[in-house]
């Protein structure tokens, strides 16, 4: 049930931005100062539910206070990243500069999503939203055992990798990304998709069975490779991929191709480093666990 709830919340938040009309022609020089009130309201509701839930749960788990406080910190860092990405000027400027659009996507997929997964916020949000959030959630998602099996299968390294791969590459096809710049609905669908695929991916990495640790390492390494490849293609391409940006970059002091190269570098370098670093940390933990297990077995055999 908890993973279904997060799929729902992650999907609803970006769709609130349908009230935000994309203006590629830049009829207003100060349009980047606008804030979408619907996104702000949804973020506020999530924050209130989590705050209420954390106060209730925190009083009942004295034996795990330190671990829960760490999860609370992860949540608020992730929530703040979501807020900056969705309701700050980054969202509007991203319609004018491809490089800023890539910064926004990296914030959603590489910072907010993993932090929220690590925070395990499902139970806390449900507890804080008792009386109005739980019935809505159950009504929208149902309790079908078949759907539960489907959601659990999604949260495996193989499916997490496949969903992330296809989602990332499909949305960077020129005709789809161009559509996101000219249609508020497509724009919202894009952000919802990125949040969902990133949630599934990081869920499959951080909250899996220990027997799948090597699969997680492989998933992280290969995701770093294909994401970096996409960034490199954008960086070294001699032509502009996304035509709407041809008319919006000059006032920021960048040519369209320079803006695209900068966006490609943002996808290539920081994102690649995050994936590879996460893979190395996961591999180190796996090796340490295997070493400790081997030492424990050797100690038991010696005693016998």
Q: pLDDT tens-digit profile of 49-90?
A: 899 888 888 666 655 678 888 899 999 999 999 999 988 889
Please report, for residues 169, 183, 279, 286, the alpha-carbon distance to residue 223 in angstroms, rounded to integers and kept in the order given: 11, 29, 10, 19
Q: What is the phi/psi pair of residue 131, to 5°?
A: 105, -25
Which tens digit of pLDDT belongs to each residue from 252-300? 999 999 999 999 999 988 888 889 888 898 888 888 876 655 555 545 5
Q: How far apart are CA 111 and CA 139, in angstroms?
A: 30
The pLDDT score that the predictor gives to residue 234 is 95
Domain limits for position 97? 2-19+33-289
- pLDDT band for 151, please (50, 70, 90 cuts): low
Note whether residue 147 is domain-resident.
yes
Note whether residue 300 is domain-resident.
no
Provide the number of structural domains found in the chain.
1
Note whether residue 298 is domain-resident.
no
Q: What is the phi/psi pair of residue 142, to 5°?
A: 75, 180
Residue 65, judged by CB atoms within 10 A of its CB (0-12, 13-18, 19+), counts as exposed
Note whether residue 26 is domain-resident.
no
Q: How far apart are CA 228 and CA 86, in angstroms?
A: 24
Note whether residue 295 is domain-resident.
no
Note whether residue 27 is domain-resident.
no
Note whether residue 92 is domain-resident.
yes
- pLDDT band for 9, please (50, 70, 90 cuts): low
Matching residue, tokens 């949260």:
155
DSSP annotation of 239? S
Alpha carbon 137 to its chain's center = 21
């Amino acid at each position: 049930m908890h993973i279904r709830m997060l799929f729902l919340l992650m999907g609803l938040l970006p769709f609130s931005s349908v009230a935000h009309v994309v203006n590629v022609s830049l009829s207003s020089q100060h349009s980047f100062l606008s804030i979408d009130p619907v996104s702000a309201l949804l973020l506020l509701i999530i924050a209130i539910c989590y705050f209420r839930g954390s106060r209730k749960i925190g009083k009942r788990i004295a034996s795990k206070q330190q671990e829960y406080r760490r999860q609370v910190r992860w949540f608020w860092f992730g929530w703040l990243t979501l807020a900056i990405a969705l309701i700050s000027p980054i969202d509007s400027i991203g319609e004018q500069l491809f490089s800023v659009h890539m910064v926004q996507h990296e914030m959603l997929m590489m910072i907010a999503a993993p932090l929220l997964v690590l925070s395990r916020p499902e139970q806390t949000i449900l507890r804080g939203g008792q009386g109005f959030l739980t019935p809505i959630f159950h009504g929208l998602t149902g309790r079908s055992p078949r759907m539960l099996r489907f959601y659990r299968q999604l949260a495996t390294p193989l499916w997490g990798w496949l969903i992330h791969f296809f989602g990332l590459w499909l949305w960077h096809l020129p005709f789809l990304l161009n559509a996101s710049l000219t249609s508020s609905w497509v724009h919202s669908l894009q952000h919802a998709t990125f949040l969902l695929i990133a949630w599934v991916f990081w869920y499959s990495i951080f909250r899996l069975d220990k027997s799948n640790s090597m699969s997680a390492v492989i998933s992280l390494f290969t995701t770093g490779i294909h994401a970096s490849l996409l960034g490199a293609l954008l960086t070294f391409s001699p032509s502009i991929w996304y035509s709407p940006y041809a008319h919006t970059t000059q006032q920021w002091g960048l040519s369209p191709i320079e803006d695209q190269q900068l966006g490609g570098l943002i996808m290539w370098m920081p994102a690649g480093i995050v994936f590879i670093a996460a893979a190395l940390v996961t591999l180190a933990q796996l090796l340490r666990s295997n070493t400790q297990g081997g030492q424990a077995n050797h100690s038991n055999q010696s005693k016998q």
